[in-house]
Structure 1
Amino acid sequence: MSTLTTNDSAVLHALFDAESSPSSAIQIDSTLPPFPANIQITPEDHESLGNRETSIIKSLQTDNVSQETIHSAITALDALIEDNPTYPPAYANRAQALRMLVDKESSLSEKLELKTGDAMFTDPANTPTVSRLFADLGQAINLSTPVSPADPVSPVQARILADAHTHRGYLLLKAARARRDSKAQGVGQLWELGSDQLEEMASRDFFLGGRYGNKIAQQMAVQTNPYAKMCGAIVKEAMRKETVG
């Protein structure tokens, strides 16, 4: 018979079972307008902006997209945001385009100069773009987050929050690993944080991404959860001692 209390069993279940993610606590209401009440975008405007945004994004959905095309898409998204500064999807999509640009430039740089490590966080030339990328993800999240965690969200809100939190969590985890493994001297505010702190921040974003419905984020939240990792290490050590004994 198990000697665990009901509370202990519930805690362990929540730590190790991705399916127990509290995404069920989020109420998604399809009758709500796409964005929070403080964002004055009508359904008609949303449709028009969505069509404009889609035409921009389509230019990036090709194999081996060029740097010039990425720059053009970012410029077009800049104009869209300037015209509609409270439209959350534009920030999330510009963040995607900025990441594509950094990945493209870093890949070319590594081929030409044989650089090692993660150039996204170790190459000073990438610092302004990476900072802008994180700022865009933060703005998409801020504009889409409900006033109260208990407030229901629209399907559009849930999707933006799931994607933006997951994207930011992935980048923070990437930064944590670069911080831990790279011999290069990194730059920027992220590099001022320790790898454990960056990984905890990533875990928090994965938790929220999963909470809003991203299945990959739910799995990553469990893998990066510091308490789950600590419990796993304790169990592993106990099993090792039992085997040795």
Structure 2
Amino acid sequence: MDPTTSQRDQNILDVIFSKNMEFAPLDGINLDPSTITAPVIQPDLMVRLKELERAAVGLAEKNNIDGAIGKFSEAIELCPHYASAYNNRAQALRIKGDSERALEDLDKAIEHGQGQVAILKQAYTQRAIIKKQRGDEAGAEADFAEGARHGNEVAKQAVQSNPYAKMCNAIVSEAMAKLRQ
């Protein structure tokens, strides 16, 4: 690394020149699972929340989306800062076609899921899909980038297929090749 280049700038350059566009964490964001900052959920409550989620998934698999939403809602009532339930309920709401409520849940999942990579990668990607469906290209692009940065493969593909990102990558690669000569 060039001694005059900051770590953040180096991360950005790594993204630009990466053939597979892997994303490096940005300054101030630590993706290490041991640094999760979410409120601690007592073990007995966590067991109950997981039971409710399993039951909800079972109902969804049987095409009982309303029942699944009810179970996820029950989990949220028991623990209003449990990001996973918001994220999963948003998916069920999306299936039902209620994108407005799904967006609200995804905002909550992101708010309560800070530091929880598994939650954030899904929530940002789901939110990006809804925004894209609604014609909010800039919002979708930003959320896909966040989903990709947190490791979601669908989001990474969306970012890679972005023509502006490809064009930028090509221009910078060409400029750097000329500089090397």
> Which category describes the TM-score, using the shorter chain as reference length?
0.7 to 0.9
Query: 1:202 is matched by which residue type in structure 2?
Result: A
CA distance in 1, matches of 2:168, 2:76: 45
Shift in CA distance, 233/81, structure 1 to aligned 2, threshold 3 Å: same
Measured after TM superposition, the shift of residue 61 of structure 1 is 1.5
CA distance in 2, matches of 1:44, 1:225: 48
Report the counterpart of residue 4 of structure 1 in structure 2.
none
Find the structure with the greater CA-based Rg.
1
Report the counterpart of residue 31 of structure 2 in structure 1.
27
Aligned residue pair count: 160
CA distance in 1, matches of 2:14, 2:40: 43
CA contact (8 A) 2:15 2:24 kept: no
Q: Deviations over 1:11-54 (max 9, x none)?
A: 5961774433225974323x45xx525x2412442233112211
Task: Show the 5 A alignment for 1:65-104.
Answer: 65=63, 69-102=64-97
CA contact (8 A) 2:21 2:160 kept: no
The CA RMSD over aligned residues, in Å, is: 3.0
CA contact (8 A) 2:55 2:68 kept: no
Identity across the alignment (%): 30
TM-score by length of 2: 0.73
Choose the corresponding residue for 2:146, options 193, 208, 229: 208
In structure 2, list runs of 5 or more residues that go unmatched. Answer: 1-8, 172-181
Query: 1:36 is matched by which residue type in structure 2?
Result: T
CA contact (8 A) 2:110 2:120 kept: yes
In structure 1, list runs of 5 or more residues that go unmatched. Answer: 1-6, 103-128, 146-152, 177-197, 235-245
Higher relative contact order (CA 8 A, sep 6+): 1
CA contact (8 A) 2:23 2:148 kept: yes
- Worse-superposed segment, 73-82 or 48-57: 73-82
TM-score by length of 1: 0.56
Measured after TM superposition, the shift of residue 159 of structure 1 is 0.5
